[in-house]
Amino acid sequence: MAKYDGIVLYSGGLDSILAYRVLSGQGLGLLAVKFHSLFFPLKTDPRDYIRAQNEKFGVEVEVHEVTEDILPVIRDPQFGYGRWMNPCLDCKLFMYRRAAEIVQRRAAGFLATGEVLGQRPMSQHRGELNRLAKKAGLKGRVLRPLSAKLLRETEAEKSGLVDRTRLLAFSGRGRREQIRLAQEKSITGYPTPAGGCYLTDETFARRLKDMFLHGNDTRPLTLLRTGRHFRLSESCRLTVGRRETENLSIEQHADQGDALLEPVSHMGPSALMHGSCTREELAVAAGIIARYGDAGPGEETVVRIRAGAGSSELTVPALDDESVGKLRI
């Protein structure tokens, strides 16, 4: 296994790109580590992402998928949530601790981040930066190259591994200095600052909270951003497609549910059920499908229900809008 002078906790944003390049400019051997999950996805094939970061920004990056590992943190955060279901402080600490394991495994001298002192009032003030390093078991070993001259000297600087005089003193929420440095280093095509975490989205957060409140079944996770979601009972949940691409996605995830419902007499959405659902709840689900299908007034819809190796059909009228609205998550 290759060894590195330092590991860079990498978001792919301008700050982390600059942190990497400032240090690589000193001739240091660096490995950037990118964490992703269903909640903050990569949005491209990992191999394509790795190649693009190297070709565009000169960054050697390693990608780690962490959905299963971070799920308990999201379910029960130590420091609570932001506005919706985003446990930002707990999430950052999780990434620090996971990165610390890689630092140890790679026998690296430090962990570097693109954090800028004062850029985010809740998580990037001096006390919080120190606390994160300490809780991750990296006290004195977390280097923030963009603000290093405003922070306490790290072990890597004391030992001479990193030249402190070539580090920076950025602070505050403005990005003018970062943009200027990017121009100096001919860094172009970097992403603009934008929220990439679904946990900050109201609709996604509401659906995730419902999943947590009704047991430990995490199978709906992969479809939380797909279609319309309904809670039919404490033990029964329904996901209904809104368009052809979502219908296809639901059908492709059929093995992750308990029953796949498809209209056969009229055009309409596919749906996936999770949990222990009664025959009455199946009829309600079929009525919801009929509501979003193209049956005319007074017409009933035939809905096929596939559960395991078995298949059955229900003929139902469309459920009324008021009832549908009450069930929607």
- Delimit the domains of the chain by residue range: 6-184, 201-327
What pLDDT does residue 2 have? 80
CA distances from 66 to 52, 178, 272 (A): 21, 29, 25
Name the nearest CA neighbour of 283 among 265, 295, 300. Answer: 300
Q: pLDDT tens digit string along 35-57?
A: 999 999 998 999 999 999 999 99
pLDDT surpasses 80 at 133: yes
More confident residue, 298 or 211: 211
- What's the mean pLDDT in 128-132? 89
pLDDT surpasses 70 at 123: no
- What's the mean pLDDT in 204-214? 97
CB atoms within 10 A of CB 158: 11
Distance CA 125, CA 123 (A): 6
What pLDDT does residue 119 have? 84
Distance CA 77, CA 87 (A): 6
Q: pLDDT tens digit string along 49-87?
A: 999 999 999 999 999 999 999 999 999 999 999 999 999
pLDDT band at 121 (very low <50, low <70, confident <90, very high): low
pTM, rounded to two decimals: 0.91
End-to-end CA distance of the chain: 48
Domain 6-184: CATH class, spelled out = alpha beta
pLDDT surpasses 90 at 120: no
